Chain A
Amino acid sequence: MRWMLLKDLQILRRSKLLVGLLIVYPVAIALLIGFALSSGPEKPRLAFLSHIPEGGQTIKLVGKKIDVKVYTDELFRSVDRIDVENRAQVLEKVRSGEALAGLILPPDFTTKLSNGGFNSASVEVVYNGDALKQSFVRSTVSSKLAQADAALARTINTVATDYVDIFTNGGHIDVLGTDLNLIGLKKTNTLIDSAIAIADKPQVSRKLAPVQNFAELSVANIDRVKDVLNTVEQPVKVNETVLSGSRAPLDTFAVALAVTISLMFVCVLLASGLLALEREENTFSRLARGLMPGGRLLAGKVMLAGGCAAVVTFAMLLGISAFVPLDFGRVGLWFAAIAVSALAFGALGVAIGSLAREVRAASLLALMLALPLAFLALVPSGSVSPALYDVIRVVSAIFPFKPALDAVNAAINDTTPSLGVALAHLGALIVIFGAAARAGLRRFALA
């Protein structure tokens, strides 16, 4: 087997273009898919027009001033801003496609927020394009505006909470330019107690009792106002429940996906091509005369293809780790997942190679099989009918892509199904595809 491995390496060394394509193409595909998955929608460009007059940039709430920049800064943190001077320019920018949408703050934006609360204030958003684009733009811009709204609400909440504290404990507030010193509910309660003690008259006590009761209850319950304000800031709190598997962040899942796709392509193409080469060169019948038993021939091809693919993808994973933080404490698990997955893809590759007479046919067959398998494994539940999803699950379980993705994802992200389950699944597939390749070899020895 050693001599056959050396021979295959010599052939690969002389096939530089083929090997180059074999490595570059799958890695490029894998990185593109990974990038597409992990990167969110690009920063949308927004034409921005503010009609708010000079000096009117602040929202006034009972003497407190909030700069409108709280709103716009939050908005433009995740949006590319194109400043324009009038409404016509907003429309032109959006119409020409230079801006994804236009945002216009009306002159009364801060005034309405100051007088009537922020529910009465409004902004104008200008969209363009077909229904699909509008849908995308609306969802993108709406989420950015919601973030800005939330930031403003948080600031207003802080102001309101401060006021509650002043009404409780006492302090200074500014009303229409006049500084007022409030004594606060707690002090009011103390003062009533003192007044009742000094007066020492039952009728005074009787008259002040409801006031005293009100002050006590107010002091005891005023913190609930803060709770209500917090509820307004975040009306619905989301608690996530994950039914199966611990969630991997999308970018690290994309890494696992990119690695698995790359591993599959390199391994399946190489293993199928190496085996088909023996038939294309007519050397298989010579080897089959006892020079190289079929099982050892297959094992050699699987190991060579798996080894090459594992080296390429492991290097790729290390390269990716420069951009996406990965837990290097799990590097041993990465290696185990990649190695066993590579053997499973190698076994699939030789099974494909045993069906083809030529390297080109084997490569085409490998591509035709590998791509749909990758896509099938990524179909989310709920996107198709339950019956069709069951079929997809069965098909995905028959081929190594899904369990390999599970194994690599578990190794990188500690997700479920566990690495052990995925590796056992891959082990079974190695045996099955190895046996299929053996049967294929016997068939083509007779052909």
Chain B
Amino acid sequence: MLAHTAALAPSLTVQGLSKSFGERRAVRDVSFDVARGELLAVIGPNGAGKTTLLSMLAGILEPDTGTVAQPDRTTARIGWVPQQTAVYGKLTVAQNLRLFAKLEKVADVDATVRRMLEQTGLEQRADDELGKLSGGNRQRVNIAVGLLADPPVLLLDEPSGALDPRQRERLWGFITALTDRGTAVIFCTHDIAEAERHAHRVLVLADGEALFNGTAAELKAVADADEGHDLEQAFVGFLRERGH
């Protein structure tokens, strides 16, 4: 695993990001960065602005103010994996990967498809229609599509929401392998325990505001959680103290 220190060059730098929908301010002046090989969890209650933040990072939504920069590889596209699988159910696994590889203008399409099939462990299911796969396997293809262009930063929106525990474990093994290879991963989740277990750092959002940015242990300390309390209890207490 890569060491995550301040000395590591950031893969993504976010400065003063804001977004409003009419009168409602969904994201307010959020700033953070994420280093190469780092796994950042964005946690917060429903309506906190997590998906809006990820959509702006992915380039789907235009921010009202603020910037998203990739200091080391400014031309590389950020990988994005939406919450719901965004692949074609009537195409096979290989056809989906091939289509998106071509749309991503990947240099060697065949080699990339082979690599992604290998990484996702779906070589045997390459010719199966996606609609006939389990939810876990579909999500693996969903993530694989996000990785086709070998992005330096990968965004995952609630990646394990629809998976059973065994599928979830396999998914996190896959994501951890990505960060080990140097991909920076930002994921948003409701599952605080999952964030505590897998993330190197957590960013707490509430009502569009970034209230905390640090490790799970630091969040517990800030929340002044009693010994024996887990991160979820600390997180709830932290939000309550701040009126959320």
Given the contacts A289-B80, A290-B59, A14 and B85 also touching, CB distance less than 8 Å: no
* Chain A hits for B60, CB < 8 A: 285, 288-289, 445
Using a CB–CB cutoff of 8 Å, the interface residues on chain A facing chain B are 3-4, 6-7, 10-11, 14-15, 281-283, 285-292, 445-446
Measured between beta carbons, the chain B residues less than 8 angstroms from A4 are 99, 103
User: What are 13 pairs between A and B in contact, CB < 8 Å?
Assistant: A3-B99, A4-B103, A7-B95, A10-B90, A11-B90, A14-B90, A281-B89, A282-B86, A285-B86, A287-B103, A289-B59, A289-B60, A291-B103
Bound complex: CA A131 to CA B90 (Å): 57
Q: Does B82 lie within 8 Å of A282, measured CB to CB?
A: yes
B75 to chain A, nearest CB (A): 12
Q: Which of B93-132 contact A (CB under 8 A)?
A: 95, 99-100, 102-104, 129
Known contacts A285-B60, A286-B82; can you find 20 more A-B pairs with CB under 8 A? A4-B99, A6-B99, A7-B91, A10-B95, A11-B91, A14-B129, A281-B89, A282-B85, A282-B86, A283-B88, A286-B86, A286-B100, A287-B103, A289-B59, A289-B60, A289-B77, A289-B80, A290-B77, A291-B100, A445-B60
Residues 32-64 of chain B, each 1 if its beta carbon lies under 8 Å from chain A, else 0:
000000000000000000000000001111000
- CB atoms of B91 and A289 under 8 A apart: no
A10 to B85, CA, bound (A): 19
Interface residues of B, CB < 8 Å — how many? 23
| Closest B residue by C-beta to A12 | B90
Q: A7 vs B95: C-alpha distance in the bound complex, in angstroms?
A: 8
**Interface membership of B145, Cβ < 8 A:** yes
B58 touches A292 (CB 8 A): no
Shortest CB–CB separation between residue B148 and chain A, in angstroms?
10
Q: In whole Å, how far is A6's beta carbon from the nearest beta carbon of chain B?
A: 8
Contact B61 A446 (CB under 8 A): yes
The answer, among B61, B82, B88, B104, for a CB contact under 8 Å with A291, is: B104
Q: Which of B58, B86, B102, B103 lies in contact with A281, CB distance below 8 A? A: B86
User: CA A445 – CA B86 in complex, angstroms?
Assistant: 14
- B84 adjacent to chain A (CB < 8 Å): yes
Separation of A330 and B85 alpha carbons in the complex (Å)? 50
Chain A residue nearest to B105 (CB atoms) is A291
Residue of B nearest to A11 (CB): B90
Asked, given contacts A3-B102, A289-B60, A445-B60, whether A283 binds B87 with beta carbons under 8 Å apart, the answer is: yes
